[in-house]
A and B are shown apart, each in its own frame.
Chain A
Amino acid sequence: GEDVEQSLFLSVREGDSSVINCTYTDSSSTYLYWYKQEPGAGLQLLTYIFSNMDMKQDQRLTVLLNKKDKHLSLRIADTQTGDSAIYFCAESLEQAGTALIFGKGTTLSVSS
């Protein structure tokens, strides 16, 4: 069945770049997402990429998709202490109406 895997922890220093990786198994996934969860808060959509794209950039965020290897990454440039959170990778077959399949989340810790 569908599965999404992420590494559980990442620790970086403030000002460095962070790269959070994700692999998925369903080759028919159409949309891939990154959500951020701060302590006690809900899931905040950061960005998403359509499966026919290789890259998407949005300010400090860069998403890379390697569809052949079913590998998705999120790069955060100039990481700040406010970026400390759990980052979830998710996939779905369609943009609206279908379930998101989530990874377990990567806890990003940013030290000053």
Chain B
Amino acid sequence: EPEVTQTPSHQVTQMGQEVILRCVPISNHLYFYWYRQILGQKVEFLVSFYNNEISEKSEIFDDQFSVERPDGSNFTLKIRSTKLEDSAMYFCASTGTETQYFGPGTRLLVL
């Protein structure tokens, strides 16, 4: 069964460093998303992406964040200058015409 994959599974970084989280959505899906879950809190929507552009973003998704689909398979989330409060689990998801399928997540720890 096709699935969304994410790399790395865990990442530790220093405050102020740039990180890139990678996702490979399900191959025939058209919509891609990033969500995050701070420990003990709700899963929060960050951004959705369709037809090579952002279709919706939350107020969390500020200028420090960017997304890209650099080739036909990868979908990335970049955090330019990480802050302590960016520590969270980051989930990628994709949709064809139906529901969102989620990857296993990347746990980001900012020290």
A: which residues have CB within 8 A of B? 4, 31, 33, 35, 40-45, 48, 88, 90, 95-105
Q: Which residues of A contact B100 (CB under 8 A)?
A: 45, 100
Interface string of B42-60 (1 = CB under 8 A from A): 1111001010000110100
Q: Name B104's contact: one of A33, A42, A97 (CB within 8 Å).
A: A42
- Whole-angstrom distance from the CB of B50 to the nearest CB of chain A? 6
Residues of B within 8 A of A (CB): 4, 6, 30-31, 33, 35, 41-45, 48, 50, 55-56, 58, 91, 93, 95-105
Known: A88-B43, A97-B31, A98-B56. A45 touches B104 (CB 8 A): no
Are B42 and A96 interface neighbours, CB within 8 A?
Answer: no
Docked pose: A41 CA to B96 CA in angstroms: 22
Contact indicator B91/A96 (Cβ below 8 Å): no
Contact B41 A45, beta carbon cutoff 8 Å: no
B99, A104: Cβ atoms closer than 8 Å: no
Chain B nearest CB from A29 CB (Å) reads 14
Q: Which residue of chain B is the closest to A97 with respect to CB atoms?
A: B31
